[in-house]
Amino acid sequence: MIKIDGLKKNYGKLEVLKGINTEIGQGEVVAIIGPSGSGKSTFLRCINMLETPTDGQIRFKDQIITEKKTNIMKVRENVGMVFQHFHLFPHKTVLENLIYAPMKVKKLSKAEAVKQARELLTKVGLADKESTYPNRLSGGQKQRVAIARALAMNPEVMLFDEPTSALDPEMVKEVLEVMKSLAHTGMTMLIVTHEMGFAKEVADRVLFLDGGLLVEESAPEDFFSNPKSQRAKDFLEKVL
Ligand code: ADP
Ligand code: MG
């Protein structure tokens, strides 16, 4: 579904991504793991072109999205993104957060958008919160709304950048449960996470990034029990 060839990203003289090659299959759940500053967020942001790669090519299905002529807005409609800090619209209710883009971008009628939003809120366990404003929600609830909002665009891929890192510990599980059930629906997912237990259980594959390089790429059971590189060994020793 996604093919990444020689992806590089520099910020001025700083080389953040130094040539990443990988492929993501349809329905695959990929955990992206690595030390802080290794380029994980930049990697995700390049995939939906929130950052313009310095070099290399990204193909999404039959489209090379790194080409200038590509309509990036169209590509992004197919790629949902969930951030560490939720990024909900603070002046809109939960329901309004969910219907805004589908109506504006996908031209759904209000009735259609509301129907779909209610189904999604039920899925993430927040059917009773549709009239609530984000500041009245817990962190875990906000993140579940953010996931539902991304899903409201009916994306083909979902990108998650440390979706549970800003949450109090007791709220991590409810968000991971939503992500797990999404994974079971066959959604293609790329997840930057420090939740090693989740990665081990849910991911089909682990990408280990260090210093802007894809150092290791393996099945979770191999990665966690038998990392190949010294860098992965050192990292796992610190976090496990
Ligand atoms: P990670 O998500 O793995 O912690 P990032 O992709 O956020 O890493 O960042 C990788 C490196 O790129 C860091 O050194 C960071 O300071 C730098 N960086 C990220 N975004 C920018 C930016 N917009 N401008 C300059 N440097 C950046
Ligand atoms: Mg990051």
From the CA of 38, the nearest ligand is 1
Least confident of 69-78, 94-103, 118-127: 69-78
- Spatial separation of the C-alpha atoms in residues 153 and 236, rounded to whole Å: 36
Whole-number average pLDDT of the chain: 97
Q: What percentage of the chain has pLDDT greater than the value 90? A: 99
* Residues measured by CB to lie within 5 Å of ligand 2, the ion: 40-41
Report whether pLDDT(233) > 90.
Answer: yes
214-224: pLDDT as tens digits: 999 999 999 99
Which residue has tokens 């967020």? 41
CA-only gyration radius of the chain, Å = 18
Ligand 1 within 6 A of CB of 11: yes
pLDDT of 40 reads: 98
Task: Report CA(97)–ligand 2 centroid distance (Å).
Answer: 25
Cβ 54 vs Cβ 10: under 8 Å: yes
Report whether pLDDT(212) > 90.
Answer: yes
Cβ 31 vs Cβ 203: under 8 Å: yes
Q: Does the reported pTM lie above 0.90?
A: yes
- Spatial separation of the C-alpha atoms in residues 108 and 101, rounded to whole Å: 9
- Element (DSSP H or E) covering residue 30: strand 29-33
142-199: pLDDT as tens digits: 999 999 999 999 999 999 999 999 999 999 999 999 999 999 999 999 999 999 999 9
6-30: pLDDT as tens digits: 999 999 999 999 999 999 999 999 9
pLDDT of 240 reads: 83
Ligand 1 within 6 A of CB of 39: yes
Ligand 1 within 6 A of CB of 42: yes
- Spatial separation of the C-alpha atoms in residues 218 and 227, rounded to whole Å: 9
Q: Residue of the nearest CA to atom 27 in ligand 1?
A: 11
Other C-beta atoms within 10 Å of 8: how many?
16
The gap from C-alpha 153 to its chain's centroid, in whole angstroms, comes to: 14
Average the pLDDT over 205-209 and give the result: 98
Ligand 1 within 6 A of CB of 89: no
Task: Report CA(115)–ligand 2 centroid distance (Å).
Answer: 34
- Spatial separation of the C-alpha atoms in residues 25 and 135, rounded to whole Å: 37
- Ligand 1, atom nearest to 17 Cα: 10
- Spatial separation of the C-alpha atoms in residues 5 and 21, rounded to whole Å: 5
Cβ 129 vs Cβ 137: under 8 Å: yes
